[in-house]
Structure 1
Amino acid sequence: MSGGRNVSHCDTAEAMVARNGADAVQAVQRACRLLRAFQREGDVLRLRDLVERTAMHKATASRLLRTLESEGLVERVGAVGFRSTIRGPARTTYRIGFATRGVDTPFSRAVTESVERAAMEAGFELVMLNSHRSARTALRHAEAMVREAVHLVIEFQSHERMAPLVAARFIEAGIPVIAIEIPHPGATFFGANNYQAGLIGGRAMGRWIKDHWHGRADAVMLLREDAAGALPRLRVSGMLAGVHETLPAVEQAQTIDIDGQGSLEKTFEAVRRRLRLGPPQATAVLAANDPMALGAIRAFEEAGRATRCVVMGQNASQDARMELRRKGTPLIGSVAYFPERYGDSVIRLTETILAGKLVPPAMFTRHELVTTGTVDSLYPLDERLPQALSTAAAP
C-alpha cells in the first residue's frame, strides 16, 4: 500500500488535530472511530460502510474523511471507495474453531451463516466442522479442534449429554469455549433466555384462552425435545407457568407430555397417535420450537380438529411466520430469537475473551412475541426475500 506509515491510528489523528486545542477531543475520538473501521490492511470501504461500522452521522463521517484525506491518512479508491494509509502494529490472525450442528433447520442455518459472516468481517480464520447432529461426531470434532490448535472454540452442538465430554477436551488443552444454546461446563453461554421466552409465549396463550375460549381449556399439550437437555426444556416450563399465571383455572386441565424430538415429522406422528386415543378436546399446544408446533397443527387438521386446538411456537421461523399469515391457522404466535444476529454477538464476545477481558458467564439474545397481528410489521420483507430472511426453526 503506497504511502504507508508505521504509526498508531489514534496517535496520528491526535497529532492532526492537536493544534485545535481541547475542543477538538470529540473530533479526535470520531477520527479514531473512522480509522478503526478499516479492520484489515487494504480494506476499501464506501462512505455508507463507514457510517454503518461507526454509527456516525453521514455528514460528520464525510467531513472527517475529507480532513483525513487532506492529511494523507486516508486515500480515495475509485469513485466511492476509501482506504486507510496507516499501517498499524502487526495483528495476530486468530484461528477460531466453529463446531456447528449443521444447517438442517432454518434456525441452525441462520446461526451458522451469521457466525461465518461475522468471523470473516472480524478477520478471523474460521475452522468449521459440521457434526450433522451426531453426538459421536461432535466429540471427534472437539479432539480435531485441539489438534488444530485453535485460539478459541464456538460450540454449537445439540446433545446436552455430550457437553461435559466435549468441554473436558478444551479445558485440558486450555482453549476457551463459547457454547451456543447448549451449556458446556466452563464455557461462556450465549443463546436463548429459555424460561423468559417461555413466559412470553405462555402469557400470550393464557390471554387468548381467556378472550376466545371463555377462560377454559380441556387439555394442555406440551411438546418437548428431550435430547436437547434441561435448559431448552425451560421453554416449555416457562410457557406452562405463563399460562397458569394468566389463567389459574387451566391448572385443572389435563396435561399431555410428548417428546416431539424437535421435528415436524416426529411430532406429527406422535400427536396423530395421541388424537386417536380420545374424543375431541379444547387443547392448548405449547411447543418448544416451531417445527413441533407445525407438526401438531398438521395432525389436528388431519383429524378434523383444527378448531379445537390453539398453538404457541418458539423461534418465529420463516415457516411459522408464513403459517401465521394463513387464514384460519390455529397458530396464534411464536416467540422470536433472531438467530440471524447471533454471529455478531458471539464474535464480539470472542474478541473480548481473546483480549483477556472478563465476560459474564452467560449472555442472552433478545426475545419478542410475533403474532398474526404483528408478523407483517416485524417481518415486512418476508415475501420479497424469503431465503435471505429465513430465521428460525429450532435449537
Structure 2
Amino acid sequence: MKSASKITHKATSAKRGYTVQAVVRAAAILNAFQSTSEVLDLRVIASRVGLHKATTFRLLETLVETHLIERAGKQGYRCCVQPARTKRYRIGYGSQTSLLPFTATVSDGLVVAANAANIDLFVLNNGLSPRVALQNADTFVAERVDLVVDSQINIGVAAEIAVKFSEARIPFIALDIPHPGAIYFGADNYKAGRMAGRHLARWATKNWKNGPEQIILLGVDAAGPLLNARLTGVLDGINEVSTLGHNIPTHHYDTKGGQFEATLDIMRRHIRRRKPERALVGAVNDSTALGALQAFREAGIERSCAIAGQDGSLAAREEMRRPSTRLICSVAYFPETYGERIIRLALDVLKHKPVAPAVFVQHELLTPQNVDQIYPNDTWMKSSPERI
C-alpha cells in the first residue's frame, strides 16, 4: 500500500503538470499592484515579482494589449483590475499630535497611502502625552491590529510601549525616535543637525565681522538625547567649520514638545534677560525656529539673530522667501513622501520580507537661495499657510 505522503506528492505533481508558467508570471505581475490607483514603473514591478526586466516588459505589454494593465505616463503602468487580497490588513497609527505641521503632513500622507493599498488605518492621537501614548498602545493591542506605526517622542515610556507590542506579537514601526525592538523610520537626527550647524557657521563668518556672541539651542527634552541629537549636530557642525562655537555662551531650552507658542514665550524671556546682539539659533524643528524668529521680530532686533530650523515645512519655506529673512536655513525631510514609504515598509513586514532595522529619510538643506528650486510648486498653492 502506498503511503499518504507519496499519494499527496503524486497529486501535487499532477496539478503542477497543468500549470502554465506564463500565466503564473502574468498573475504575479497583476498582484504586484496594491490597488488600481497605484502607478509603478518597470523596475519596481520587476523587483516585486522577481523577474528579469526584459521578461517583465514583455508580459506587461501583453497585459496592456489585453486591457488588464494600462500605461500611465511615459514609464508607468496601472492595473485595471482590483488585485485579489486574502486579507485586508488593519494598521494602527498613533499620531504624535495634530498641532505640528510636520506631523499633520505625515498623517495626511499615511491616510491616502493606506486607502490606496486597501488597508484599514486605525488612527489615534498621542497628543504629545506619555500617558495617552500608553493608553493608545493598550487600545491597539485590544483591537488586535496587524501592525502599529507609532509617532511618540517621550523616551520615558518608549520601552514600556515596545514591550506591550512585543508581548502581543504586533510588529512595530517607530517614527521620530527609536524604540526597543521596533523598526525605526525617520531622520538621521545628528546628520541633519550637522548640516544646519555648518551652514550657520558659514553664514556667521560671512555676515558678522566679530562672530556670534551667543548660541541658543531649542530642543525637546522629553525625547532625551535622541531628538536633541539634532542640537548636538548643530554644535558639532559649527565647530567643524570654524572655531566660532568654542568659548561662546550656549543656552539650551526645552520647548515643551517643539511647539511655537512655548518657544515664543521662552525666547521673549531670553531676549529680555540676555539682550542678544549676534545670536546663532539651532532649533529642533521649524515650529520652534519660527517661534524664536517671531520673538526677535517683536523685539525689533531681528537682525541680531541667524536661525536654522528642521523639517522644511511650508511655513518655513514661505518665511525663507521673505527678503532679508533671518531664518537662514531648514533641513528638509520631505514628510509629504512618508505615507507611501511607510505603508510599503509595513506591507513588507506583514508579508515577512526582509527589512532593515532603520530606514532613514532623505535630508536636504533648504536656504532662501535654493528654496524655489527644491520646492517650485509652492506658488501653485491657493491658500496661504496658517500661523503655526
**TM-score, structure 1 normalization:** 0.81
Matched, 1:196 2:191: yes
Q: Counterparts of 1:24-173 in structure 2 under 5 Å?
A: 35-40=30-35, 43=36, 49=39, 51=41, 67-68=62-63, 74=68, 83-84=80-81, 91-173=86-168
Q: Which residue of 1 aligns with 2:280?
A: 284
Structure 1 CA distance, aligned partners of 2:360 and 2:290?
26
Deviation string for 1:23-52 (max 9, x for gaps)?
Answer: xxxxx7xx6785245435xx4x6xx94559
The aligned amino acid for 1:316 is G
Matched, 1:185 2:180: yes
Structure 1 CA distance, aligned partners of 2:156 and 2:162?
11
Structure 2 CA distance, aligned partners of 1:50 and 1:355?
19
Matched, 1:307 2:315: no
Q: Which residue of 2 aligns with 1:25?
A: none
Aligned mate of 1:324, from 320, 344, 351? 320
Name structure 2 gaps, 5 residues minimum: 1-14, 47-54, 71-76
The aligned amino acid for 1:345 is R
Task: Report the 3-state secondary structure (helix = DSSP H, G, I; strand = E; otherwise coil) of the residue aligned with 2:174.
Answer: strand
Structure 2 CA distance, aligned partners of 1:62 and 1:103?
44
Structure 1 CA distance, aligned partners of 2:64 and 2:300?
70
Structure 2 CA distance, aligned partners of 1:292 and 1:75?
48
The aligned amino acid for 1:295 is G
Structure 1 CA distance, aligned partners of 2:348 and 2:179?
19
Q: Which residue of 2 aligns with 1:354?
A: 350
Preserved CA contact (<8 Å) 1:65 1:74: no
Structure 1 CA distance, aligned partners of 2:203 and 2:293?
17
**Residues 219 and 141 from structure 1, CA distance in 2 versus in 1: closer, same or farther, beyond 3 angstroms?**
same
Deviation string for 1:317-364 (max 9, x for gaps)?
Answer: 111111101112111110001111112221222122112233222111
Task: Report the 3-state secondary structure (helix = DSSP H, G, I; strand = E; otherwise coil) of the residue aligned with 2:123.
Answer: strand
Structure 1 CA distance, aligned partners of 2:79 and 2:191?
45
Name structure 1 gaps, 5 residues minimum: 1-6, 17-27
Matched residue count = 355
1:218 CA drift (Å):
0.6
Matched, 1:14 2:22: yes
1:134 CA drift (Å):
2.5
Preserved CA contact (<8 Å) 1:115 1:344: yes
The aligned amino acid for 2:34 is Q
Preserved CA contact (<8 Å) 1:73 1:84: no
Task: Report the 3-state secondary structure (helix = DSSP H, G, I; strand = E; otherwise coil) of the residue aligned with 2:346.
Answer: helix
The aligned amino acid for 1:83 is C
Matched, 1:369 2:354: no
The aligned amino acid for 1:111 is V
1:84 CA drift (Å):
3.8
1:74 CA drift (Å):
2.2
Aligned mate of 2:262, from 259, 266, 276? 266
**Residues 378 and 317 from structure 1, CA distance in 2 versus in 1: closer, same or farther, beyond 3 angstroms?**
same
Identical residues among aligned pairs (%)? 39
CA RMSD of aligned residues (A): 3.1
Preserved CA contact (<8 Å) 1:223 1:288: yes
Matched, 1:233 2:228: yes
The aligned amino acid for 1:218 is E
Preserved CA contact (<8 Å) 1:98 1:155: yes
Deviation string for 1:80-102 (max 9, x for gaps)?
Answer: 996349x76x5222221111123
**Residues 212 and 139 from structure 1, CA distance in 2 versus in 1: closer, same or farther, beyond 3 angstroms?**
same
Task: Report the 3-state secondary structure (helix = DSSP H, G, I; strand = E; otherwise coil) of the residue aligned with 1:277.
Answer: helix
Preserved CA contact (<8 Å) 1:215 1:247: no
Q: Which residue of 2 aligns with 1:174?
A: 169
The aligned amino acid for 2:368 is T
The aligned amino acid for 1:288 is V
Structure 2 CA distance, aligned partners of 1:147 and 1:278?
51
Structure 2 CA distance, aligned partners of 1:52 and 1:306?
51
Task: Report the 3-state secondary structure (helix = DSSP H, G, I; strand = E; otherwise coil) of the residue aligned with 2:93.
Answer: strand
**Residues 191 and 49 from structure 1, CA distance in 2 versus in 1: closer, same or farther, beyond 3 angstroms?**
closer
**Residues 353 and 81 from structure 1, CA distance in 2 versus in 1: closer, same or farther, beyond 3 angstroms?**
closer
**TM-score, structure 2 normalization:** 0.82
Moved more, 378-387 or 110-119: 378-387
Task: Report the 3-state secondary structure (helix = DSSP H, G, I; strand = E; otherwise coil) of the residue aligned with 2:244.
Answer: helix
The aligned amino acid for 2:22 is E
Deviation string for 1:147-173 (max 9, x for gaps)?
Answer: 111111111123221212211211111
